[in-house]
Amino acid sequence: MKFFQKLDDFLDFGWAQICRGKFDKKSPARHPTFVTSSHDGIPNARTLVMRRSDRKNNQIEFHTDTASSKMLDLKRNPRAGIHIWLPKVKLQIQMDVVIEIKVGDTIIPIWKNVPTNSRVAYGTIPNPGSVIESPFAYDHAPDHKRFAVLICHIESIQLLLLGVEHIRANYKKTNNWKGEWLSP
Ligand SMILES: Cc1cc2nc3c(=O)[nH]c(=O)nc-3n(C[C@H](O)[C@H](O)[C@H](O)COP(=O)(O)O)c2cc1C
């Protein structure tokens, strides 16, 4: 079991786990929960695949269909919450992020790197979440115009480690990631 006395070491550990999301398909950090707010204030949570993490620039990245309901939420309110629970190391990671949406020609190089069989996720007909007559009454029409890259600019990271003694800390970009211990 990990033991941390220093805020910086604890944040390093948190980032090491976040980065595993991209490179380790078995890590739970591969599938964070991504939470948006709908126009009526109701939270919407769903699982997304972590596509990229970048500690230097405080970013993580997801890909989605431009016609999905999360896009509507994000256009109204670009703030989102990210949640990851890593049972093996007993670490919960929560992040507040502001989303930059990228679509169109500038992301064609990223689209070209999406494996052909994965492209079906971007272009379902009718739009994701539409009511349909039967379970398979939908079609796939992969289309780069339906592909969106969600760059998450991280504003804060909160870590909770369930060791013999629980420890919890919060780190804010506005505080230059200095961090402060919190009562668990
Ligand atoms: C393991 C797993 C991985 C998923 N990965 C993605 C993803 O990378 N991008 C995505 O848009 N949806 C992904 N989904 C589907 C979403 O959870 C969600 O159902 C879909 O994006 C529609 O969300 P919305 O209607 O709330 O916008 C994934 C679902 C699961 C269970």
Asked if residue 114 lies in contact with residue 62, where contact means CB atoms within 8 angstroms, the answer is: no
Q: Is residue 115 part of a domain?
A: no
Centroid of ligand 1 to alpha carbon of 80 (angstroms): 15
CA distance 117 to 50: 18
pLDDT (tens digit per residue) in 64-109: 999 999 999 999 999 999 999 999 999 999 999 999 999 999 999 9
Atom 10 in ligand 1: which residue has the minimum CA distance? Answer: 64
> The whole model's pTM is what?
0.97
Centroid of ligand 1 to alpha carbon of 81 (angstroms): 15
Range of the domain at 31: 7-108+146-182
Q: How much is the pLDDT for 1?
A: 66
Torsion angle of alpha carbons 115, 26, 28, 47, nearest 10°?
A: 30
| Contacts with 126 (C-beta within 8 Å, 6 or more apart), sequence order | 132, 138
Share of the chain above pLDDT 70, in %: 99
pLDDT (tens digit per residue) in 116-146: 999 999 999 999 999 999 999 999 999 999 9
Q: How many structural domains are present in the chain?
A: 1
**What is the CATH classification number for the domain harbouring 176?**
2.30.110.10
Atom 14 in ligand 1: which residue has the minimum CA distance? Answer: 48
Atom 31 in ligand 1: which residue has the minimum CA distance? Answer: 47
Question: Is 53 touching ligand 1 by the criterion CB < 6 Å?
Answer: no
Q: Is residue 140 part of a domain?
A: no
What are 81's two structure tokens?
């919450």
Q: Is residue 23 part of a domain?
A: yes
| Of residues 180, 121, 120, the one with CA closest to residue 156 | 180
